[in-house]
Amino acid sequence: MIKLDIPGRRVFEFENIVLDLNGTLSVDGKIHSKARDKINVLAKRAKIYVLTADTRGRAEQILEKLKAETILLSGDNTSREKVEFIQAIGANRTVAIGNGYNDHLMVKEAALGLCIIGREGTSAETVKRSDVVFQDVLDALDFLLRPLRNKATLRQ
């Protein structure tokens, strides 16, 4: 479990971390080795899920050696599939991390929504609906690994 004590709000206890794959966790189909290491550390404290429509057709290879469950999305409305997945695992116990338009409902529904403005860009709608925005997934993962970082950003 990951605990974040946010002054003026409450203590959040997260059991799940849900990440979008393309543009969020991976850039140009590759995951940074440090991101892989950070996720594997977080996997000792929370269940990690990676949601993908497998746009590049290489999700299995890209996610190799990652301590995460891969959830393949298959429908025409991946935004809806993502938010339904968040609801099914418990939105109030979940951190969602995304960058694309199809992540905007997911980051809004989760107890904590993080947005990545990476080299592949991000959707303005996802930025608006997120609690915190980061330049890179490494910073977002550190935000969860180093809980004192959230106090200045999220306090009321």
Q: What is the pLDDT of residue 71?
A: 94
Q: What is the pLDDT of residue 70?
A: 93
Q: Could you tell me if residue 119 is inside a domain? A: no
* Residue with more model confidence, 80 or 4: 80
Which of 22-36, 54-68, 130-144 ranks highest by mean pLDDT?
130-144
**Beta strand extents in 54-93 (DSSP E only):** 69-72
Q: Could you tell me if residue 122 is inside a domain? A: no
Domain extent, residue 64, equals 10-76+93-98+137-151
Q: What is the pLDDT of residue 46?
A: 97
For 74-93, give one letter per residue: b (16+ CB within 10 A) or e: eeeebbebbbebbeeeebeb
The CB-side HSE value for 86 (13 A sphere, CA atoms) comes to 29
We report the CATH number of the domain holding residue 36 as: 3.40.50.1000
Q: Could you tell me if residue 109 is inside a domain? A: no
* Residue with more model confidence, 58 or 136: 136
Tens digit of each residue's pLDDT (9 = 90 or more) over 47-105: 999 999 887 788 888 898 899 999 999 878 999 999 999 999 999 999 999 999 999 99
Q: What is the pLDDT of residue 6?
A: 82
